[in-house]
Amino acid sequence: MRNATGKTGKTVKAAKPATAARTKAKASRPFVAADYLKTEDDRAAYLSALLEDGDARVLTIGIRDLAVAVGGVAGLASKTGLSRETLYRTLSPRGNPRLDTVAKLLPVLGLRLTVQAA
């Protein structure tokens, strides 16, 4: 079947109906960092890469990703003695964790803070 289109009067073929095989696409899954942070080495490399970025906001979200990887914020709260509400607020995109909070979190995540010469 041919249909006229536009002012030029050119004709184009009608599109073929889509077949089930063409339209059936695999459902994609959203990226979840915690799925890839199973070992302490993976978590250390992830946090190091975030620190190289230099943006403190990225660091707080990264620590939250690590918390999810090791059992969730609730589990992290019970292991550190900090409240869940405090951790959710601190590790939110607008959070600003203090050094003493980070110092409590890192050992539970299997990490420690070190300094190297630039």
Count of domains for the chain:
1
18 lies in some domain:
no
- The answer to whether position 97 is within a domain reads yes
Residue 55: inside a domain: yes
- Angle among Cα 77, 78, 80 to the nearest 5 degrees reads 65
pLDDT, one tens digit per residue, over 24-66 is 667 787 877 778 888 889 989 988 888 888 787 888 888 888 8
Within-domain flag for 2: no
Residue 17 maps to a domain:
no
Percentage of residues in the chain with pLDDT exceeding 70? 79
pTM of the predicted protein model: 0.65
Low-confidence winner among 10-24, 60-74, 91-105 (lowest mean pLDDT) = 10-24
Report yes or no on 20 lying in a domain: no
Backbone angles phi, psi at 2, to 5 degrees: -120, 140
Please check whether residue 19 lies inside any domain of the structure. Answer: no
CA 108 to mean position of chain CA atoms? 20
Could you tell me if residue 16 is inside a domain? no
Range of the domain at 66: 37-108
